[in-house]
Amino acid sequence: MIRALSKICLSAMLAVPLAACGSNWQSALDVHGTSAISLKHLILLIVAVCSVVWMLVMVALIWALWHRREGLSTPPQPGRERRMTIAVIGAVIVTAVIIGTFTIMSFFATRSLSVAGQDELTIRVRGLQWWWGIEYLGPDPSRRFETANEIHIPVGRSVHLKLEGLDVIHSFWVPSLAGKQDLIPGRSNELTIRAEQPGVYRGQCAEYCGMQHAHMALLVIAESQDDFDKWANAERNAAAQPVEEEAAAGMQTFLTKPCAACHTIRGTIAAGTTGPDLTHVGSRRTIAAGLFETTRGSLAAWIADPQTIKPGNNMPMVPLAPEELRDVSAYLASLK
């Protein structure tokens, strides 16, 4: 009953900011990750207990106002003094017990955040203005690969993230899976995430990092181990050679224009590292850090004028003829 009541209070408090969100894929209340679940339990417990305490205090206050002593001097009443002393001591003890319990609970919740399994998958996440570089590490260098703005993880397995900021401080936050962790230039922070259920979870940079901070999202896709392995093997491959004539022409354009100086497409001579790896850009769900769904049309719109779509981002507008734009977007869309 009290729990339900406190849930209602919490929901009412959060209703305003949450009204803006259509779906629950980025919500600290809709949790599917081990650490997010323990954090949610902790916050619900604290809110519930604090609500009860607040209500008791209010009741006591109203009662006290009701029974206030009229006049200035009252004759001493030994029985009343004793009852008051007992009430105060009782309140102090209860307060100490509650705070002590909170401390212990939050200690255990925090400790559960850093549990690490044995066979860990390690991913380096680099925060840049304004996108995420994702690199799957592993003992075997030939099996490492890079992607951007999208992390795939197997359900039920601990995944270890090494978080690094390359230019300014960013913060990695996928509320449905785990708490926040900053990405700081010059050091490597760690975060372990584990999804309990398959799904697509949205994350967002949570530390103001410049003009396009709001457009610095990422997706975490939790899937079965089989699906994950299939995806990872496909990602490891070099880019597909274009088959259609249009895409082949697009590849030529890409390689001869400035694009290749900033982007890598494995299997071609394009090996730039200042922009996202585009080897399998066509298979990612979004481009430009969550701004658009990946379609040929959105790719073309982005390439045609990135500075109008995401002003200030670090991809310049590269002048292209209409046919070149058509070819390049066909090529990139074909990179599944």
Amino acid at 114: S
Cα 334 versus chain centre, distance: 29
CB of 219 to ligand HEC, least distance (A): 11
Choose the contact partner of 256 out of Cu ion, ligand HEC, another protein, none; CB within 5 to 8 A by kind.
another protein
User: What does the alpha-carbon distance between residue 21 and residue 315 come to, in Å, rounded to a whole number?
Assistant: 29
Query: Which CA distances in Å does 314 have to 71, 276, 306, 309?
Result: 74, 11, 9, 12
Closer by beta carbon to another protein, 29 or else 184: 184
Does 174 contact Cu ion by CB under 5 A? no
Of 162 and 257, nearer to another protein (C-beta) is 257
Q: Out of 39, 205, 222, 288, point to the residue binding Cu ion (CB under 5 A).
A: 205
Q: Which does 319 bind (CB under 5 to 8 A by kind): Cu ion, another protein, ligand HEC, none?
A: another protein
The single-letter DSSP state of residue 68 is P
Please, what is the minimum distance in Å from the beta carbon of residue 307 to another protein?
Answer: 4
Q: How far apart are CB 11 and ligand HEC at their closest, in Å?
A: 34
CA distance 68 to 62: 10
Closest of 202, 138, 196 to residue 172, by C-alpha: 202
Beta carbon nearer to Cu ion, 191 or 209 = 209
- Are the CB atoms for 229 and 256 separated by under 8 Å? no
Q: How many residues does the chain have?
A: 336
> Which residues are paired to 151 by β-bridges?
220
Shortest reach from residue 303's CB to another protein, in Å: 13
The token pair at 313 is: 């981002």
Q: Is 193 left (phi over 0), alpha (psi -120 to 50) or beta?
A: beta
Q: How far is CA 162 from the centre of its chain?
A: 14
User: Contact with Cu ion (CB under 5 A): which of 144, 213, 266, 326?
Assistant: 213
Q: How far does CA 324 lie from the centroid of its chain?
A: 36
Our CB check for Cu ion shows the closer of 214 and 238 to be 214
**Which residues of the shown chain bind another protein in the complex (CB under 8 A)?**
185-186, 256-258, 260-262, 274, 305, 307-308, 311-312, 314, 316-319
Choice between 199 and 210, CB closer to another protein: 210
Q: Which listed option, another protein, ligand HEC, Cu ion, none, makes contact with residue 185 (CB within 5 to 8 Å by class)?
A: another protein
The four Cα atoms 124, 332, 237, 188 give a dihedral, to 10 degrees, of -10
CB nearer to another protein: give 84 or 317: 317
Return the residue matching tokens 């309990």: 196
Q: Treating both helix axes as pointing N-terminal to C-terminal, what angle do 245-256 and 322-333 enclose, rounded to 10 degrees?
A: 110
Among 209, 270, 289, 291, interactor with Cu ion by CB under 5 A:
209
124 binding Cu ion? (CB under 5 A): no
205 binds, among Cu ion, another protein, ligand HEC, none (CB under 5 to 8 A by kind): Cu ion
How many beta carbons lie within 10 A of that of residue 268, not counting itself? 17
Q: Establish if 180 lies at the interface with Cu ion (CB under 5 A).
A: no
Among another protein, ligand HEC, Cu ion, none, partner that 312 touches (CB below 5 to 8 angstroms by kind): another protein
Binding residues vs ligand HEC (CB under 6 A): 130-131, 148-149, 212, 254, 257-259, 261-263, 274-276, 278, 281, 284, 287-289, 299, 302-303, 310, 313-316, 318, 320, 328, 332
Query: Contact, 256 vs 268, CB < 8 A?
Result: no
Partner whose binding site includes residue 213, from ligand HEC, another protein, Cu ion, none (CB under 5 to 8 Å by kind):
Cu ion
